[in-house]
């Protein structure tokens, strides 16, 4: 059975970490008899450099046709001066919008070997397992009107609009409830219903859907500011958190850092189910392009490899294979192998990106 992957390494450390993912895909093909077909293309600044746009129509078409998109990272200081519409980030946002990838799943999980790595005390975060479901195709990222206009009284006005429809809220809330049923059965919905109408509607629609279809799931609501505070005070109270695009952007960075390193966290962004029975899907590490360390071969490839594990689980229904990969990573960490972002002992040399890849592959070989 052929399974198609479109790999978009992007900018900064994207290509370096993605190289390790390709090795893992090859391992599954060569050692486990899978038939993953990998195609690579450009996105972000890399696409701008060669095509003058951060995402070409041809790449977008490929993304629509493939089974799963794996994206590295986009952006970098070289592109700071570009017009808004040409910035690398627009490539990523266009993929989310055009593929209608409304449910952005961002797990914040703490590996046992890294509990001392968080800025919080180990007992606060050990065993942490949160899933943030962030709406990703609407809200203030895309709402109209938007822009910068001249104001009547002189000067300028910057405008963005937070807009959500019933359907947009319900479909992402449905994803959250479905996920909760397969986890610890709890959903906490976050908005600012105390100050925003879009928040009032969000809370009402989530409550209605819960009553109609998911009464067995425990539902709570929090204002997003209080939610941010609770995330750092007592994060283990949460199972699934569902929230809008902008709050989800902030809260997921906060949750990610609870675990000590952004270099560890994967994400999946899922849309509607296609005729093939698979969802439109894109997988990417939560970390960015990290221009300060790009090209040095020292970036942590784990978040990107774990994103491929999420692809195995959500796009290909290969939960066992995902687990094999996750266990291999866990045991490499338990052995004390660390890339520079995870180093505390200054007397040991950190593993390079490629060495981390080697270690993970050796662990995989031990399972054969
Ligand atoms: C993220 C990023 C993106 C976002 C940027 C790069 C457009 O911060 O995936 O969280 O704001 O959504
Ligand atoms: Mn972000």
Instruction: Report the CATH number that the domain containing residue 183 is assigned in CATH.
Output: 3.40.50
Query: Is 67 among the catalytic positions?
Result: no
34 C-alpha to ligand 1 centroid (Å): 32
287 C-alpha to ligand 1 centroid (Å): 9
* Domain shared by 143 and 232, yes or no: yes
pLDDT at 117: 83
Distance CA 283, CA 267 (A): 6
Task: Give the pLDDT band of residue 147 (cuts 50, 70, 90).
Answer: very high
249 C-alpha to ligand 1 centroid (Å): 7
* Domain shared by 11 and 105, yes or no: yes
| DSSP β-ladder status, 35-40 and 279-285 | unpaired
Task: Give the pLDDT band of residue 173 (cuts 50, 70, 90).
Answer: very high
In this structure, are residues 137 and 282 in contact, taking their beta carbons and an 8 Å threshold? no
Average pLDDT estimate for 277-294: 94
Average pLDDT estimate for 325-350: 90
- Is 147 a member of any domain? yes
Q: pLDDT of 19-34, one tens digit each?
A: 999 999 999 999 999 9
- Residue 297 sits in a domain whose CATH number is 3.40.718.10
Q: In b/e form, how buried is each residue of 337-355, taking b as 16+ CB within 10 angstroms?
A: bbbbbbeeeeeeebbbbee
For 75, list phi and psi in degrees, rounded to 5.
110, 165
* Domain shared by 140 and 214, yes or no: yes
What tokens appear for 78 in the block? 């070289």
Q: What is the mean pLDDT of the chain?
A: 96
Q: Decide whether any atom of ligand 1 lies within 6 Å of the 284 Cβ.
A: no
Minimal-distance CA residue to ligand 1 atom 6: 89
pLDDT at 104: 97
pLDDT at 48: 98
Q: Decide whether any atom of ligand 1 lies within 6 Å of the 93 Cβ.
A: yes
* Domain shared by 263 and 188, yes or no: no
Q: Domain ends where: 224, 258, 292?
A: 258
* Domain shared by 134 and 239, yes or no: yes
Range of the domain at 91: 1-110+259-368
- Is 189 a member of any domain? yes
Q: Decide whether any atom of ligand 1 lies within 6 Å of the 262 Cβ.
A: no
- From the candidates 87, 94, 192, 363, give the one annotated as an active-site residue: 192
* Domain shared by 364 and 273, yes or no: yes
pLDDT at 98: 97
DSSP H or E run through 202: helix 197-213
- Is 324 a member of any domain? yes
Q: Domain ends where: 258, 282, 311?
A: 258
- pLDDT higher than 80, residue 125: yes
- Is 120 a member of any domain? no
- Is 299 a member of any domain? yes
What tokens appear for 360 in the block? 């993970």
* Domain shared by 307 and 364, yes or no: yes
Q: Domain ends where: 258, 286, 310?
A: 258
- pLDDT higher than 90, residue 141: yes
pLDDT at 344: 75
Q: Any residues with CB less than 8 A from the CB of 189 and at least 6 apart, and which?
A: 173, 176, 202, 203, 206, 219, 220, 221, 222, 241, 242, 243
* Domain shared by 235 and 204, yes or no: yes
Minimal-distance CA residue to ligand 1 atom 2: 249
Question: What pTM was computed for the model?
Answer: 0.94
What's the domain count of the chain?
A: 2
Helix (H/G/I), strand (E/B), else coil: 52: coil
CB atoms within 10 A of CB 152: 7
């Amino acid at each position: 059975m052929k399974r198609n992957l479109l790999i978009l390494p992007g900018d900064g450390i994207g290509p370096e970490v993605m190289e390790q993912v390709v090795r893992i895909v090859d391992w599954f093909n060569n050692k486990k008899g899978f038939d993953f077909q990998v195609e690579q293309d450009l996105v972000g600044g890399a696409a701008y450099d060669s095509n003058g746009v951060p995402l070409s129509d041809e790449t977008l078409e490929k993304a629509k046709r493939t089974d799963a998109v794996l994206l590295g990272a986009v952006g970098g200081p070289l592109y700071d001066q570009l017009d808004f519409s040409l910035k690398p980030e627009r490539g990523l946002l266009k993929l989310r919008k055009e593929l209608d990838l409304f449910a952005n799943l961002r797990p914040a999980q703490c590996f046992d070997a890294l509990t001392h790595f968080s800025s919080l005390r180990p007992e606060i975060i050990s065993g942490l397992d949160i899933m943030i479901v962030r709406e990703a195709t609407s809200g203030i990222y895309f709402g109209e009107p938007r822009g910068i206009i001249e104001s009547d009284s002189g000067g300028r006005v910057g405008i963005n609009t937070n807009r959500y429809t019933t359907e947009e809220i319900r479909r992402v809330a449905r994803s959250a409830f479905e996920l909760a049923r397969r986890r610890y059965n709890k959903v906490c919905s976050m908005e600012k219903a105390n100050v925003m109408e879009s928040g009032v509607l969000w809370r009402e629609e989530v409550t209605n859907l819960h009553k109609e279809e998911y009464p067995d799931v425990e539902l709570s609501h929090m204002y997003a500011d209080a939610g941010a505070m609770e995330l750092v005070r007592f994060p283990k109270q949460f199972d699934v958190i569902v929230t809008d695009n902008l709050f989800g952007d902030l809260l997921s960075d906060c949750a990610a850092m609870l675990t000590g390193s952004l270099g560890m966290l994967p994400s999946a962004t899922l849309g509607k189910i296609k005729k093939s029975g698979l969802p439109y899907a894109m997988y990417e590490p939560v970390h960015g392009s990290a221009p300060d360390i790009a090209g040095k071969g020292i970036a942590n490839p784990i978040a990107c490899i774990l994103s491929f594990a999420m692809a195995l689980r959500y796009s290909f229904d290969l939960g066992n294979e995902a687990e094999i990969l996750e266990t291999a990573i866990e045991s490499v960490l338990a052995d004390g192998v660390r890339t520079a972002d995870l180093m505390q002992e200054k007397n040991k040399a950190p593993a390079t990106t490629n060495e981390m890849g080697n270690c993970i592959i050796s662990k995989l070989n031990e399972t054969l």
